[in-house]
Amino acid sequence: MIMVIKKIEQIQNGNGSTSLICDHDEKGLITDDERGEIICRPCGQVLTEGISNSDSILTHTLDGFLNNSQTGPKSSLTVYDKGLYTNIGARNVDFTGKRISSKTISRFKSMRVWDSRSKTKSTGRNLISALLLLDGVKQKLGLSNTIAEHIAFLYRKASSAGLIRGRGTPEIMAASIYAACREQGIPRSLDEVSDTLNVTKKKVSRCYMMMIRRLDLKPELANPLDCLSKFCSALNVGEKTKRHAFEILQRANSLRIMSGSKPAVVCAGALYLACIANGENISQIKIAKNTHVSSPSIRKALVVLNKALTIV
């Protein structure tokens, strides 16, 4: 029987952790990042415990960084204080549990008063209610977090310019949502936004035009092709019909047919025309109901597109 005799020395580190020194070669050491240990491969002895590897949090993907981040959540415009909130405790003790001095107590009392006053201003209360409204509307309209950030930016900009004074919060929020969707090319009509926030279309349109003038917004022109995927999903049409409607809209855009009409009307007319050409039995009433466009508007778009392009 061969006995392996190894020499182990125990040392005390400055941070309180204990390390062992083994007489084996350093090439046989194994570092366990998850447990924070250094192990000797030949003898299996744990040489160092409780180490912290700063390289383990360096990742090359965004998800990995967010999972391993030790600095808390990132700031967001959709939160009232952008995620950088303050929380001053009511107990007058330090981190060890000892009572702080009377001078420090009066100082912290003043800080609590100013902190509460900053959160109870009229503008602050308005912004809190508006962002809570945005959080609920975002789910109903199916908007992404990026669009929500842009909506919150526009609303904060309108609030700083004094456009909220004398107007309702849902009206300015609806106008901000519609403006952000127009700037980012998201197909959301004025009717959808106004119905979701329970505001009349006239008020939303008025606030939207005011924001364009006062905030110098430059939204992109609406394209009927942006509505096609949404309408096809709602109507569950075939892929052949969808491609045919896409070709009709492309030709209509190149020839500037119905360039001044509503994009939803042009898209609904092209989709109904493609259904007729491909023999897909989808009624005009069903298309009008799912696209929020009236039947006479669909018939008018159908006649204009068929006359110009000669589809059927």
Closest by CA to 251, choosing from 306, 188, 186, 173, is 306
Q: Is residue 91 part of a domain?
A: yes
Where residue 272 sits, what CATH number does that domain have? 1.10.472.10
148 is written with which tokens?
Answer: 């929500």
Q: Is the pLDDT of residue 293 over 50?
A: yes
Looking at residue 24, what is its pLDDT? 60
Q: Is the pLDDT of residue 278 over 50?
A: yes
Domain with 17, as residue range(s), is 1-72
Say yes or no: 93 and 27 in one domain: no
Q: Is residue 138 part of a domain?
A: yes
Q: Is residue 125 part of a domain?
A: no
Percent of the chain with pLDDT over 90: 9
Q: Which residue has the higher pLDDT, 212 or 14?
A: 212
Query: Among 114-118, 216-220, 276-280, which is the least confidently predicted range?
Result: 114-118
Is residue 184 very low, low, confident or very high in pLDDT (cuts 50, 70, 90)?
Answer: confident
Q: What does the pLDDT look like over 163-178, one tens digit per residue?
A: 888 888 899 999 999 9
Say yes or no: 252 and 205 in one domain: no
How many CB atoms sit inside 10 A of residue 190's CB? 18
Q: What is the largest CA-CA distance in the chain?
A: 100
Q: Is residue 220 part of a domain?
A: no
Give me the number of domains the chain comprises: 4
Is residue 25 very low, low, confident or very high in pLDDT (cuts 50, 70, 90)?
Answer: low
| pTM (predicted TM-score) | 0.60
90 class by beta-carbon count within 10 Å (0-12 exposed, 13-18 middle, 19+ buried)? exposed
Say yes or no: 134 and 205 in one domain: yes
Q: What does the pLDDT look like over 44-57, one tens digit per residue?
A: 677 666 555 544 44
Average pLDDT value over all residues in the chain: 78
Q: What does the pLDDT look like over 126-167, one tens digit per residue?
A: 888 888 888 888 888 888 888 899 999 999 999 888 888 888
**Integer angstrom CA distances of residue 283 from 233, 262, 276:** 16, 21, 10
Looking at residue 4, what is its pLDDT? 40
Looking at residue 155, what is its pLDDT? 92
**Integer angstrom CA distances of residue 210 from 67, 162, 168, 185, 289:** 42, 12, 14, 20, 31
